[in-house]
Amino acid sequence: MKLISPKGDVSRPILDRVKGSLFSVLYQYDLPEGAMVADLFSGVGSLGLEAVSRGAEFVTFIERDPKVRATLIKNIEKGCFVEDTKVISTNAFISGAPLEYGKPKYNLVFVDPPYPMTMENGPKSQLAGLMGVLKNQVTDDALISVRTDRKVHLLQQYGPFGILERREWSSMQVSLFRKL
């Protein structure tokens, strides 16, 4: 499905070939089939929509920008995924991936903040704080996929999460974290 994007540079959807490569890696971990997924800083929804189209049970999108969120909702409707998704407007660095009462924890979380927000990534960074929030929102075997600029060197561990693997594509990298 060709996604709608807002005009300007308020969003940077992942390239289709890179998205395909990332999901090939996720398949090695039996994801996203049947998973509860959170797409933080979701933009137009590229990763979360790909997950639901590949069999994720439910995707929660976290997007704070009203213009981008409106485009995200159009993409969800275009893909006929309204029943399988929810959109929340909040600061993901503070709230992580809020859980709805009675819903299971997340098996897969995409963390894709604007690159400038990941330049500071030490133990007291916003990313470290987010990982601290996520520890109570994910299952013990959940994967957290963090997308950053290729030049960013993330720590090997944030709270209870350690890096499983890191992949580089073009000018970006994706680091997969799991609870230790």
By residue count, the chain amounts to 180
Query: For residue 13, is pLDDT > 90?
Result: no
Q: Where are the domains of the chain?
A: 16-179
Distance CA 157, CA 154 (A): 8
> Three-class SS of residue 9?
coil
149: enclosing H helix or E strand: strand 138-149
Distance CA 23, CA 108 (A): 12
Map tokens 């289709």 to a residue. Answer: 16
Q: In CATH, what class is 16-179? A: alpha beta
Distance CA 90, CA 29 (A): 29
Amino acid 158: pLDDT: 96
Q: Each residue of 112-171: pLDDT tens digit?
A: 999 889 899 999 999 999 999 999 999 999 999 999 999 999 999 999 999 999 999 988
Q: Is the pTM of this model over 0.85?
A: yes
Q: Each residue of 34-86: pLDDT tens digit?
A: 999 999 999 999 999 999 999 999 999 999 999 999 999 999 999 999 999 99
Distance CA 126, CA 94 (A): 8
Lookup: tokens for 61: 């999108």
- Quickly list H helices, the chain: 16-27, 46-53, 66-78, 92-95, 126-134
Q: How far is CA 164 from CA 17, 76, 116, 119, in A?
A: 22, 31, 24, 21
